[in-house]
Structure 1
C-alpha cells in the first residue's frame, strides 16, 4: 500500500535546499540550478563530500536492515526522508520483512511532489508520507498518517539520518528527539547520524560556511556532544562511531576516516 499525506505544493527553485543539494551530489536528478551551484561550491572546498554522503546513506541501509533482520522491527518512522533514491528505506526493510510499515516525513515540497511516484510499498506492508517539519513534533505525532500507519502497541524505529546538523541547540535539538521518542513503546529504537568537524575541521568548516551562505547554517558536534542524543537509551555496539565504522559490510565502499564527517549510532529505548 502507498499513501501520501498531502497534495503537491509549489516549489522554490531559486533557493538551494539541503535535500536537493544532497540529491545532486549523490548523482540524482531531482534538483535545480541553485542546488547544483551550491553543491559544486561545496565539493570544490571539500572533494570528499560525495564519499561522505554515500557513507551516510550506506549507514541508513545497514542500520535499517539490522533492525528488520536482527531485531524484528516492523515499523519505521523516518524523519527528514529527503528525495527518494533507490534503495529507499522501505525497499531495504520490506525485502526482509514484507509486512513492514514505514512513515516518511519531510518538509521540502519537492520531496512531497516526488513521493507518490517513487515510494512503492509491498502489498503486505504500508508506505506513507507526511509533509511536516521535525521542528514541530506534534504535527508529526498528531497526523492521521502517523495514527493510521504506526501502532504504538509494538516497537517503532525512529530514524533521523543526515538532519541533526541542521537542527541547532537553540531549536531545542535534544527536546525534539525526546518528544518524538516519548510516545514510542519500550523496545523502540533511535538511529541517527550527526555531523562533525572532528576529522577534517578546516575542510568541513568551509563546507559549513557554504551551507550558511545558502541559508542553511549547520551545528557540527564532537563525539561527546553527539553521544548526548542517546542519553537514557541502550546503545547497540559499536556505539557512537563514524558512520562507515558502524557494522561495516565487506562490499562497502572503502573510505578514509578524514573523508567522513558524520557520527552514527543505534540505541534501544529501555522498559
Structure 2
C-alpha cells in the first residue's frame, strides 16, 4: 500500500502511544506531542504499559479460561508484539482475529500481521468504529468470524476519543449485537478519577492537537457493561485486573488513568 495517505505532519493518537511505550513507528510530530504529554504527567508511560499489560492478560483469559477462539479488535493501533493473535494463538493456534483501525499507517504496518499460526487466521478491516456497520458488513468480518460461536470483542484504550455526540456506549452495543451468547467484551476506559489534574493536562495536550477526549467515571464506565455478566474482579483500574505477577515495575493507583473489565454476554 502507498504511504501517501499518511499525514506525517500531524500527531496521531496511535503513534503517540507507540512512541511513549518505546515503539519505532512514529514521526517527529508524534514525538513532540508525546514529550509534551509526559512533561505534564511523568507517569504516562507507566499508565500506557499497564494498559498494554491488561490487554495481554484479558486476551489470555479469554483464550485460556473462557475458551474464546475468535476475536474482533476495535481500534487496533500500531502493531506491538505480542499482538492479540499472538497471545490467542499461543493458547489455541486455530484462533481467528479480525483487526479494525482507520489509520493508514496502522494498515501499512499490519500487513505483516497477516501471517499468524498456520491453523489460525488474521484479517484487517480499515473502518472507523463510529460506523459499526462498516465493520459488521465488511467481507473480512463475515468471512473470518463464525457468528455461531462466541467472539471476544476487544475495545482497548479507544473510547476516550469518542465524545458524547458519538454515543460510545451505543457503538459498543451495536458491535456486540450480532455476537452470540457466550461472547465476551474486554475494554479499557480512560478516566481522570485517580489523577485529575495530571490527566486533565494530558487531555488538554491531546485536544490542542485535534484529539479531544471524553474521560469517564466508574459509573459511566459501567454503562458499557449493562446487561452483561462481569468477570471477577469487575471494573477496576487496569493494573488491578487479575494481575499475574509478571510486571517488574511498582504501579501506584495515581499512575493509572484507565478502568478495565471483561464481561460475558448471557443467554
Question: Does TM, scored on the shorter chain, surpass 0.5?
Answer: yes
Do 1:8 and 1:109's aligned partners in 2 also have CA atoms closer than 8 Å?
A: no
Structure 2 unaligned spans of 5+: none
Pairs within 5 Å for 1:1-271: 7-8=1-2, 10-252=5-247, 253-271=249-267
Please say which of residues 233-242 and 244-253 is displaced more in the overlay.
Answer: 244-253
Secondary structure, aligned partner of 2:90: helix
1:18, distance to aligned residue in structure 2 (A)? 0.3
1:254, distance to aligned residue in structure 2 (A)? 2.4
Please say which of residues 9-18 and 258-267 is displaced more in the overlay.
Answer: 9-18
1:4-25 deviation per Cα after TM superposition (whole angstroms, max 9, x unaligned): xxx4452000111100000000
1:119, distance to aligned residue in structure 2 (A)? 4.4
Query: What is the TM-score of this pair, normalised by structure 2?
Result: 0.98
Structure 1 unaligned spans of 5+: 1-6
Do 2:150 and 2:181's aligned partners in 1 also have CA atoms closer than 8 Å?
A: yes
Moved over 6 A (4+): none
CA RMSD of superposed structures (Å) = 0.9
Do 1:78 and 1:159's aligned partners in 2 also have CA atoms closer than 8 Å?
A: yes
Instruction: Name the CA distance, whole Å, in 2 between partners of 1:183 and 1:149.
Output: 14
Query: What is the TM-score of this pair, normalised by structure 1?
Result: 0.96
Do 1:235 and 1:268's aligned partners in 2 also have CA atoms closer than 8 Å?
A: yes
1:168, distance to aligned residue in structure 2 (A)? 1.3
Aligned length: 265
Do 1:80 and 1:106's aligned partners in 2 also have CA atoms closer than 8 Å?
A: yes
Instruction: Name the CA distance, whole Å, in 1 between partners of 2:112 and 2:65.
Output: 30
Instruction: Name the CA distance, whole Å, in 1 between partners of 2:6 and 2:141.
Output: 25
1:217-254 deviation per Cα after TM superposition (whole angstroms, max 9, x unaligned): 00011111111110010000000000000000111242
1:82, distance to aligned residue in structure 2 (A)? 0.4
